Each structure stands twice: as structure tokens, then as C-alpha cells.
Structure 1
Amino acid sequence: MVDNLRLLAILLGVVLIAAGIGWRTVRFARIRQGIRSGLADPDPAVRIAAVRQAAELGLASTAPALLRAVRVETDPAVRAAVVECVAAHQWEPASTAAIVELRLWAKAYVGARPDLARSPVRSAPLLAGVAGTVPAPSLHPVREHEFRRRTATDLHVDDAAALGPPPDDDPLARLRILVTGVGGAAGVAVVRALRAAGHTVIGVDADPDAVGIRLADHGQAVPRADDPTYLTALIHAATLFDAELLVPTVTEELPVLIAGAGYLRDAGLRFLFPDARTVQTCRDKWAFYQAMRDAGVPVPATALGTAEGVPGPWIVKPRFGRGSRDVHRVTAPQELAAALTLVAEPIVQTALAGREFTADVLAHPAEIVAGGALRWRLATKGGISTVGETFSDDSVMQTVALTIKALGHIGPANIQGFVSDDGAVTVVEANPRFSGALPLSLAAGADLVGEYVRAIVGRAVRTERLAARPGVRMYRYFDEVYQT
């Protein structure tokens, strides 16, 4: 009887998996058919919407349809939309002949149409072209200075020695600190900051090949936070390497760590976690919107699963998500239905205009911002800032402080939002952890990691060491660690 039930359960699971695969295949086939129909529509606005929808799916599956369209297309606006689509997907590998041909067409079209530099675009464009070629100057004249050849007189490195937090006249004794998520940008930044301060770092990550495991003094792989053995494995690593403090850098780990706080204390670890409700509010973008709206913090118009009552253009993203995954910018109403089908449990927000910022702050005591850094997100990749610059603005910091107070947060956090051309500040989301671009805030002098460690051990947080110098710009690049 038990074997029959087990066999029935297996068969049912196979049927459900097959049904899910079939449903997904049919859904994407319908979306691709809708794109092909849209590209043949007599209305140029519908054709542009179809091009942008194709861009959301990626060139690997839509390049043949776009190629067929541009061969017969006569409307310059539609062709410009295709160029923008190709430019935004230069990161895709040239895996098919259609992608290569489409990129060559876009490069030739841009070369023959200098008037494209005056065409309105949704964001600062990248040049279309074949992957691996050196890009010519930007299509947009406002960005021309970014691509001009620089000389030695353009580079100012004489202030480099002044970067970073000032010397500490009351340093902590050497501590053994366990850092989680050391495969991510935030985890790597925390490992480096702690080691620079003289502490011994034990780095753990779910990926055994995580670079932070190699950068730390000691490293070990642990299961993911959703694995039932995660907490046991973490305590084992802490015990093995005599860790004294715990610094988490991954939001998804916090609920497990908070629930297991008693076990962590029994293992001799000290830590400073936010409240479980705060973490849940930050993870749930719909709950975050409601909490901020009720607290009077300015947030964009938002709806759950629909765009009703939300003015366009729109951002469609998962209610629970991170790292800009599955985030779609929609400008035409015709694109909304497709975007909603591509996102699990979507929320719809008004896409904000203006400059995007992140605030890296330390809240201590609870609900009070002790200090931090404001930085413009000038370029991003995978949700992480790759080019940024610190700035100072009292109204932005006041809005950030209101956000922290509404959340009831304690510890490190990063708040993201926009500043419009008229100076209005709007908050988009909050993360109860260190950010991926933490190195910029540290370089600007805000010792967020060091003062967080002081808070964990019960020492007073020194607000003067959390002030950031404005005008410090960061350019990110790859680096390597070698192991034999």
C-alpha cells in the first residue's frame, strides 16, 4: 500500500512537472507570436512596443524576428528602437548568426544616421555593435565627455591617500568575526574592511568557490539559508574557528538567524540583528510600500498584480525579489500584459524620473540613523552599482532617517530612491544589510563596518566616524585571486 502511494506520488509529480514545462513553453510561444504580430502591425507605436517586448525576452530568441522586421521597416523611430534594443543587450553572447547579423545591421545603421544622437532615449544609451569591438563615442552628445581620450592632466590621484576612514584613536582589540555571504559584493567588502582593521575573519558562503572564502583568514562552505541544516552548519563553522562575532550580509539569511538567535548565543557568538518584522517588511515590496505610505514617507504609486491607479511609465517587478532580477520597465500600455506574465507575483510602480541614489547608513540605537553616506548610482550591473559618486543632501538624509524610523530598523541598511529635477525625494526600497557598493562609502570615510562591530560588542557608536566625504567617485573593475 505504501509503495503504491509512493509510486502514485512520483507519477503525480512527473505529471505536474511536465504540465509546468508545457505551460511555460506555450506561454512563451504565445509571447513570441505576439511579438511577431506586433512587429507587423501598421501602427508604429505598436511596433515599437513589440521591439521593447522583444528586448525583455533577449536576443537569443527574438533576433530572427527583429531581423525580418528591420529589412522591411521604414519608420525611423521603430528602427531606432531596434538599435536601442541591440545596444542594451551587448552582454549577450553572439550565440547565433542572427544575433551577429542584427548587431552588424545596428552598427551600420548608427554609422549612417548621425541624427540618432538627437533622438530621445529612455536612458543613456550604449552603442550597438559586435561584442568585443571597441565602442565609438556615445550616441548621446551629453555623454561625449565620458568617451573622449584622456591625458595625464585629467587624472587627479593626489588625494588617493586621504580615502577611507580616518585613523582610529580608540581601536578595538583583535576579534574573530564570522561573515556570511562572502561570495557577494557586500560580503567581500566587509571581509576586506575587517581584515584591514586587524581582525581575524572567517568567511562562509553557499558557494564553495566564493572568492570571499579565499580572501578571509579562514573559510568554509555552508548550505543555503533555506536548507534545514544551515544553522547547524553555521554554528559548526563558528565553533571550529572560535568565532566571537557574527556579521550577516545576506537578507534571506536574517529570518533564520533571528529565529536561531538563542542557539547562536549558546555557541558564544555576539551579533546585532534587526527585528523579524522589519526584515519581512523590507523583503516584501508590497508591505514596504504600505508601511512607508502609512508613515508619510514619499514612495511611488504602487499596485499589486495590476497597473490600475498607477500612472505610467511603469516598473514591473517581483513582490519578493532582489538584485534587479525580473525587473521590467514598461512605457506602452500594450507591453503591460506581457510584463505581468513574465514576473511571479508582480507589483507595478510608476517609473520615477531623476537621479537614482543609495544611502548606506548605520542605525543605532533602533530607529535612529547614526550616520552614513549618500551616493549617486551612475551605472549599475545586476542591481549593483559599478560607477557611483558620493554627495551631500540634507533633504535626502532626512527622508532616509524617516524610512529607518518607519521600519524600526537597527544595524546596517541601504535605502534606494530617486531625486527629481525639482529636488523631490522618493524612496523605492530598503535592504536591512550592507550594500554591494559599500566600498565607495568606506572610501569616502564612513566607517560603517567598524562602527557596526563596536555596536555589536556594546561600545558607543561614534557618529563622527560615519560622515562621508562628498565628491568621491568609484569605478568598478574585475580583480583576481589565485590559489595553488
Structure 2
Amino acid sequence: MPIDRMAASRRVLVTGVGGQPGFDLARRLQQHGCTVIGTDADPAANGLLLPGLIASQSLPVTHPHYGIELLKLCDDLRPNALLSAVESELPQLLAMRATLNQIGVRTWLPPQHAINACLDKAEFYTVLTEYGIPTPRTWLPQQIAAIPDNCPLVVKPRHGQGSQNVMYCRTWQQALILCELVPEPIIQARVDGREFTADCLVDNSGRASVILRYRLLTKGGLSMVASTFHDPEVAGGVAEALAAVGAVGLCCVQGFVRDGHEQRVVLTELNARAAGGFLLAEAAGADLIGQTLAGLWGGPVAHDRLRYRPDVCLTKYVETLAVSEDESATGNSATRSNSIASQQFTGRASDARI
């Protein structure tokens, strides 16, 4: 891919490079010619070992000095822009936006009410039902008596991500017990169908481009095998949800397609960050990161460059990113090989190349 000559002079800070969205985002920006500064709170994060990356361990977002340390890092390394792959830090970044702008760090952040809907599944349910957009019925633990009998259920963290602490049951009595095990739980009606993710870019006027892919195989919340598809009804429902929430910039939406049901398209969540499988959108022809850079720098988003081909199928695999010798871990002269693995995409169709 030709290097974007304008991007080649840009320094972009990417947070959360240990997760799949941040890892792939950092590497994709490098391929666009950007100098990338990558941060993660985990010192063993695989993204910190990306060749050519300026790596820096960060404080956890819950640390009281998180914002102070981030501003110090920006003052020291002078990024021109910041892209977050960690949704939980968005409220702090939004509060810091004016200060970041003053020191020359561009951001492209959604408004507070959109962040709230992305971080809080109960709020997401409230917003979508207010606009009449199909989404699974959702109850808080104190509303458990309102759950009908014989309703398959999902108990999950209200503010969780990555399919962590997600549990399934068949009765509200079982859900009541699971609520004791899941942190800050909510209960949702379980939805079956063909699971999909929409990789989205919303410009500042509210216009959205939507790239659809079925999640054919999922492990630990991460789509391992996926295939792009076109469906105007699904794309329209996603666009309605983006507008209802007030999303802007790079984001993703998940849901189910249920052929034969009155509510054929049901949306389950919206994330104000890149999805873990966004590389498939690019392999199918959408200039997702290039147009994200255009919007980040205040320019127009060329939505015609976000068109994509259907039926492009990609599969993730594991590769070794780095191997090091670590004597300190053993306490003696013996050495230990430490392989850092990263999950990537490999093409399963002749035109699915990155």
C-alpha cells in the first residue's frame, strides 16, 4: 500500500495496544506511514513489542494519576493526535480534551451522552428503546420479578467488555443466583441468530459508513472467522443506532440477524472504538483507517472510499511476535524463552489481502 505522505509526518498515540483493537490499529497506522506511540497498562502487552513502535507503559485508567501521567507523556513525546482503544478511559479523555488540544494533541471523541450509552448497557437499552430500535429486553437485578417465565437469559456486567463474566441461564431464579457472581450485573433476554459486527465511521455531520461482517467463529469475545455481507436493512438499523446514541468517529456495533422473526435485526451493543476485527473491513476494500485519519485531522471523510466487497472471508491465527531471554524470572542462571503471541488475519479468499 502506498504511504500517505501527509501521514508520514504525523505522530499518533494509541492507547491499549495490548488488546486486539489497539494492536491492529497501531500497526495499521504504521502502515499508513504514521509514527506510532503505543501505551498499555500491562507491561507484558504484546503491542508494546511492535517493531518501530515507541512503547510506553501507562497507568491503569482507574489510577488517580492516570490523567496527569498521560499529559506528561504527551508533553514528553509530542504526539499530534490520540486514538483510544480503551473505552473505559473515554470519560477522562473527554474531560482532558481542551488541555490536550492546547498542547497540540488532536482527538476525535463522541459527546458524553454517547460515551455513557457505550459504557453502560442499561443506558444503551434505554436509548435504543426510546427510539424504537430493536435491542434485547434488559432488566436490573431489582427488576428481576418482571422477567417472564420460560425466557432464556444472559447475565453480564453492566459495564463489561470482551465477553468477560457473561453467563447464560433459562429462568429468572437462576439469573438471581448468577447476579451474585457477576460484577454490577444486568439481565437480558437471550437472542439467537446470525451474529454480526458493523465497522463504522461517522463524520461530524452525522453521516455514517457501515461495513458489515458475520461473526462465523468467536472465541473469548473475539471474532476469529468472519465474512463480509451486504444487507440494507441491517445497515439501516445500525445507522439508526449510531444516530440515536450520537456516535462519532471510528466505532462498531454488534447484533443479530434473525430471519423469520418480526424483529429481524436486533442490536446488542455499540463500542466507541475500533473493533477487534476491523482489518476485514479494510481487506474488503474500505479505507477505514485512512478516512479515520482524515476526520481526525479535521478534514472531510470520503465515504465513497468506504465501500466494500461482500463475501470476503478472513481468519485470525496466532503468530510469535517476539522471543526474549529472561533470567530474572527464574532466580538463577537458567534462562526462559518468553513468546509473545499476537492474533492476526490471514486471507481465505484470493482477494482478501491487506
Q: Structures share a fold, TM > 0.5?
A: yes
Name the structure 2 match of 1:222: 58
Give how far 1:220 is off. 0.5
Give how far 1:324 is off. 0.8
Query: C-alpha distance in 2, partners of 1:192/1:372?
Result: 22
1:343 paired residue among 173, 182, 189: 182
SS of 1:342's equivalent?
Answer: coil
SS of 1:224's equivalent?
Answer: coil
Give the root-mean-square deviation of aligned CA atoms. Answer: 2.0
Quick check: 1:218–1:241 contact (8 Å CA) kept in 2? no
Quick check: 1:281–1:287 contact (8 Å CA) kept in 2? yes
1:420 paired residue among 252, 258, 261: 258
SS of 1:362's equivalent?
Answer: strand
Give how far 1:277 is off. 1.5
Letter in 2 for 1:181: G
Letter in 1 for 2:97: A
Query: C-alpha distance in 2, partners of 1:307/1:482?
Result: 52
Name the structure 2 match of 1:449: 289
Name the structure 2 match of 1:232: 68
Distance 1:307 1:414, change over 3 A: farther
Residues 225-265 of structure 1 deviation map (CA, whole Å, 9 limit, x = unaligned): 11122122222222322211111111001011101112212
Equivalences for residues 158-197 of structure 1 within 5 A: 172-197=7-32
Name the structure 1 match of 2:140: 304
Matched, 1:283 2:123: no
Quick check: 2:156–2:167 contact (8 Å CA) kept in 1? yes
Quick check: 1:357–1:374 contact (8 Å CA) kept in 2? yes
Equivalences for residues 324-403 of structure 1 within 5 A: 324-332=163-171, 335-369=174-208, 371-403=209-241
Query: C-alpha distance in 1, partners of 2:290/2:95?
Result: 26
SS of 1:396's equivalent?
Answer: helix
Greater Cα radius of gyration, structure 1 or 2: 1
Letter in 2 for 1:278: A
Query: C-alpha distance in 1, partners of 2:54/2:3?
Result: 25
Name the structure 2 match of 1:406: 244
SS of 2:206's equivalent?
Answer: coil
Letter in 1 for 2:16: G
Quick check: 1:366–1:409 contact (8 Å CA) kept in 2? no
Give how far 1:368 is off. 2.5
Letter in 2 for 1:377: R
Query: C-alpha distance in 1, partners of 2:176/2:80?
Result: 51
Identity %: 38
SS of 1:343's equivalent?
Answer: coil
Quick check: 1:300–1:428 contact (8 Å CA) kept in 2? yes
Name the structure 1 match of 2:339: none
Give how far 1:414 is off. 0.8
Residues 301-352 of structure 1 deviation map (CA, whole Å, 9 limit, x = unaligned): 2211116245611111121211111111113555333223222332221111
Name the structure 2 match of 1:50: none
**How many corresponding residue pairs?**
318
Distance 1:281 1:320, change over 3 A: same
Quick check: 2:7–2:33 contact (8 Å CA) kept in 1? no
Query: C-alpha distance in 1, partners of 2:159/2:46?
Result: 27
Quick check: 1:367–1:407 contact (8 Å CA) kept in 2? no
Query: C-alpha distance in 2, partners of 1:353/1:242?
Result: 47
SS of 1:476's equivalent?
Answer: strand
Equivalences for residues 206-221 of structure 1 within 5 A: 206-215=41-50, 216-221=52-57
Residues 419-469 of structure 1 deviation map (CA, whole Å, 9 limit, x = unaligned): 002271011111111111122222222222221111111111111221222
Structure 2 unmatched runs, 5+: 325-354
Name the structure 2 match of 1:470: 310
Query: C-alpha distance in 1, partners of 2:302/2:6?
Result: 12
Equivalences for residues 119-138 of structure 1 within 5 A: none
In terms of fraction of residues, the more strand-rich structure is 2
TM-score when normalising by structure 2: 0.85
Equivalences for residues 231-250 of structure 1 within 5 A: 231-250=67-86
SS of 1:288's equivalent?
Answer: helix
Give how far 1:379 is off. 1.4
Quick check: 1:359–1:400 contact (8 Å CA) kept in 2? yes
Distance 1:392 1:320, change over 3 A: same
TM-score when normalising by structure 1: 0.63
Distance 1:223 1:366, change over 3 A: farther
